[in-house]
């Protein structure tokens, strides 16, 4: 599929050479389509995911973990809403990770996400994730102070330690049957400004706006450096990052749907076969049901 090949262009397979500044936030890979065409293409992607999710559940050997990270107003919530709209809600859970609770602060930084991992046959979506620990916490050292870490765990190399821990954590999950796909929605500073203005000007969207968003916006260069470092250090074959252009939401959604669909198809999922004595019993039941006519 064309969209599958387009999605692969945004997968970071050579993280040591990754530079965020080289990724165009408005890239559409030459696609020039109207809104109706975009909706139609997304509908096909949603239908594909629906079928794959049914197989995932029936197959029972794999789980899927989708991580979505981005700056404010990049479209995380609407992406999840549109791309996963056809998936059976019984087989999919979305978790948003905000400021940790007092209980969560009494554990290691991966503990709270480990409690929310999808079980076999299910899809889990992290809207923000354990990566906040090398993003927001890195930009705001006061959050780190609340974690009451011993001295040997809070030195100048703490971020490299956490990158190493995250890589090991995700490798462990992958080895035990979790397909991990991570998406950074790469929105521009200018597009964020426009979306903030939309939120302020439209009464139905004002509730989404927070003054804290403006404070974080002023730290944009620091966040971009942190994201670049994060992707460089944690994009690995078993848990790749996709840096997806996010200035055009229709394109973002198409790319993410295609990337998930392509990766799930590679799992070679299958419905369990009914054979032998079990099949004979089913055939007998079928005859009995037909005879009731």
- Mean pLDDT score, 253-264: 98
Ranking 59-68, 95-104, 146-155, 171-180 by mean pLDDT, the lowest is: 146-155
Indicate the pLDDT class of residue 156, thresholds 50, 70 and 90: confident
CA distance 67 to 126: 5
CA distance 18 to 42: 29
Indicate the pLDDT class of residue 208, thresholds 50, 70 and 90: confident
Are 170 and 234 in contact by the 8 Å Cβ rule? The answer is: yes
Are 57 and 119 in contact by the 8 Å Cβ rule? The answer is: no
Are 73 and 213 in contact by the 8 Å Cβ rule? The answer is: yes
CA distance 45 to 40: 9
Q: What pLDDT does residue 150 have?
A: 86
Element holding 182 (H helix, E strand): strand 178-186
CA distance 123 to 56: 9
Asked whether residue 152 carries a pLDDT value surpassing 80, the answer given is no
Q: What pLDDT does residue 207 have?
A: 84
Domains held by the chain: number: 1
Give me the domain span that covers residue 54.
2-291
101 phi and psi angles, rounded to 5 deg: -80, 170
CA distance 164 to 169: 9
Mean pLDDT of the chain: 95
- Mean pLDDT score, 103-124: 97
Tokens 């020039």: give the residue.
32
CA distance 41 to 1: 12
Asked whether residue 100 carries a pLDDT value surpassing 90, the answer given is yes
- Mean pLDDT score, 15-35: 94
Q: What pLDDT does residue 151 have?
A: 77
pTM value > 0.85: yes
Asked whether residue 155 carries a pLDDT value surpassing 80, the answer given is no
Indicate the pLDDT class of residue 130, thresholds 50, 70 and 90: very high
Tokens (6 digits) for 64:
């899927």
Q: What pLDDT does residue 1 have?
A: 58
CA distance 45 to 51: 10
**CA nearest neighbour of 190 among 109, 78, 87, 74:** 74
Tokens (6 digits) for 73:
């107003």
The CA R_g of the chain, rounded to the nearest whole Å, is 22
Asked whether residue 185 carries a pLDDT value surpassing 90, the answer given is yes
Q: Write out pLDDT tens, residues 28-38.
A: 999 988 888 99
In order of 39, 175, 230, the CA distances from 70 in angstroms are 23, 27, 12
Q: Which residues contact 292 (CB under 8 A, 6 or more apart)?
A: none
Tell me the CATH number at 253.
3.40.50.300
């Amino acid at each position: 599929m064309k969209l599958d090949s387009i999605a692969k262009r945004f997968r970071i397979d050579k993280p040591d050479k990754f530079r965020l500044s080289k990724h165009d936030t408005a890239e559409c890979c030459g696609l020039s389509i109207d809104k109706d065409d975009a909706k139609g293409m997304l509908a096909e992607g949603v239908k594909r995911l629906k079928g794959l999710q049914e197989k995932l559940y029936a197959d029972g050997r794999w789980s899927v973990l989708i991580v979505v990270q981005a700056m404010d107003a990049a479209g995380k919530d609407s992406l999840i809403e549109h791309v996963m709209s056809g998936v059976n809600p019984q087989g999919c859970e979305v978790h948003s990770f905000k400021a940790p609770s007092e209980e969560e602060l009494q554990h290691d930084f991966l503990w709270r996400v480990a409690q929310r991992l999808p079980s076999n046959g299910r899809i889990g979506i992290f809207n923000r994730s354990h990566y906040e620990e090398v993003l927001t916490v890195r930009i705001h050292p006061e959050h780190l102070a609340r974690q009451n870490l011993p001295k040997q765990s809070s030195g100048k190399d703490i971020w490299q330690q956490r990158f190493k821990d995250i890589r090991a954590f995700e490798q462990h999950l992958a080895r035990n049957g979790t397909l991990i796909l991570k998406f950074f929605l790469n929105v521009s500073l200018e597009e964020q400004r426009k979306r903030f203005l939309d939120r302020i000007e439209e009464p139905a969207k004002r509730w989404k706006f927070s003054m804290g968003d403006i404070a974080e916006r002023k730290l944009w260069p620091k966040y971009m450096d942190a994201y670049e470092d994060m992707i460089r250090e944690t994009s690995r074959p078993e848990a790749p990052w996709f840096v997806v252009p996010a200035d055009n939401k229709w394109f973002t959604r198409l790319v993410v749907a295609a990337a998930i669909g392509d990766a799930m198809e590679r799992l070679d999922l299958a419905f369990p076969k009914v054979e032998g004595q079990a099949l004979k019993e089913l055939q007998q039941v079928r005859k009995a049901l037909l005879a009731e006519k």
